[in-house]
Amino acid sequence: MKAIAAADSLEEHAYKAIREMILSGELKAGQKLVQEDLAARLGLSRTPLRSAIANLERDNFVALGSRGEAVVAEFGPTQIAAVFEIRAVLEGLTCRLLAPSIERKHTVYLRSLMTAVTDTLETGDFAEYRQADIEFHSYLTKLMEGSFHTRMLESLQVIMGMSLAQGLLRTPHETLPEHLAIIDALEAHDADAAERAMIVHIRKTISLIESQG
């Protein structure tokens, strides 16, 4: 069992290391993954590396090139928009499932999270708002921790974070009222309204992403 655990650990290490190289831009879109080079760089054998690359392909970070070789996947607006379409459905479902029984302490936290950063919006520096935005969506996912659809969402979160880095989100002046509308619906325990508010919120962002394609 220890050997299996060690192998799993090496595979996970390789997965995270290569994913970080992709997200940081060290490995460019379309670039071939040379297993010999990666194995030497990470100090790993080919076995966990192959498993890690297979998992990266599963999670859409890696694709098969024209000759069947593993290459870094393209993450342009079209690909990110497709991820956000899935996100809209899954996060809408999260809100629908949470709304009937969500506790006041959770909605109070969400409201304070978003209102706490409103003073920073006039400066034009939206860094704090972006962090609050990420936490808002992550917090809702965590409230449903362990469910099947939230595990799917967690696998998408890294790719969604790439859209923030690329500046694809709408301005806080547009999105803040939408966040507050989601909170209002959750506080009212209105499952239909909460799901609808989240889907509308995300699909407006999809429209922006697609316009940049």
Residues 122, 66 within the same domain: no
Q: What is the pTM of this model?
A: 0.72
Residues 63, 135 within the same domain: no
- Show Cβ contacts of residue 56 under 8 Å, excluding neighbours closer than 6 positions: 15, 18, 19, 22, 62, 70
Q: Tell me the pLDDT tens digit for each residue of 94-126.
A: 999 999 999 999 999 999 999 999 887 777 778
Q: Is 132 helix (H, G, I), strand (E, B) or coil?
A: helix
Answer whether 206's CB lies under 8 Å from 148's CB. Answer: no
153: CATH:
1.20.120.530
Residues 62, 86 within the same domain: no
Residues 59, 155 within the same domain: no
Q: Which segments of the chain are extended strands (E)?
A: 62-64, 70-72
Q: Tell me the pLDDT tens digit for each residue of 11-51.
A: 989 998 998 888 777 888 889 999 999 999 999 888 899 99
Answer whether 153's CB lies under 8 Å from 83's CB. Answer: no
- Show Cβ contacts of residue 65 under 8 Å, excluding neighbours closer than 6 positions: 30, 32, 71
Residues 135, 45 within the same domain: no
Q: Tell me the pLDDT tens digit for each residue of 47-101.
A: 899 999 999 998 878 988 878 899 998 777 787 788 889 999 999 999 999 999 9
Residues 112, 175 within the same domain: yes
**Predicted local distance difference test score (pLDDT) of residue 52:** 93
Structural domains in the chain (count): 2
Residue after which a domain boundary falls, among 26, 50, 72: 72
Torsion of Cα atoms, 18 then 21 then 157 then 162, to 10°: -150
Torsion of Cα atoms, 51 then 56 then 60 then 66, to 10°: -70
**Predicted local distance difference test score (pLDDT) of residue 6:** 52
Residues 90, 6 within the same domain: no
Residues 19, 98 within the same domain: no
Phi, psi torsion values for 32, nearest 5 degrees = -70, 140
**Predicted local distance difference test score (pLDDT) of residue 143:** 93
Tokens in use for 3? 């050997």
Residue after which a domain boundary falls, among 41, 72, 103: 72
Residues 95, 185 within the same domain: yes
H or E element that contains 153: helix 148-165
Residues 57, 103 within the same domain: no
Q: Tell me the pLDDT tens digit for each residue of 144-203.
A: 887 777 777 776 776 666 555 555 468 888 999 999 999 999 999 999 999 999 999 999
Residue after which a domain boundary falls, among 13, 42, 72: 72
59: CATH:
1.10.10.10
Residues 102, 25 within the same domain: no
**Predicted local distance difference test score (pLDDT) of residue 160:** 67
Cα 136 from Cα 119, distance rounded (Å): 17
Residues 86, 178 within the same domain: yes
Can you give the residue range of the structural domain that contains 18?
A: 2-72
**Predicted local distance difference test score (pLDDT) of residue 78:** 80
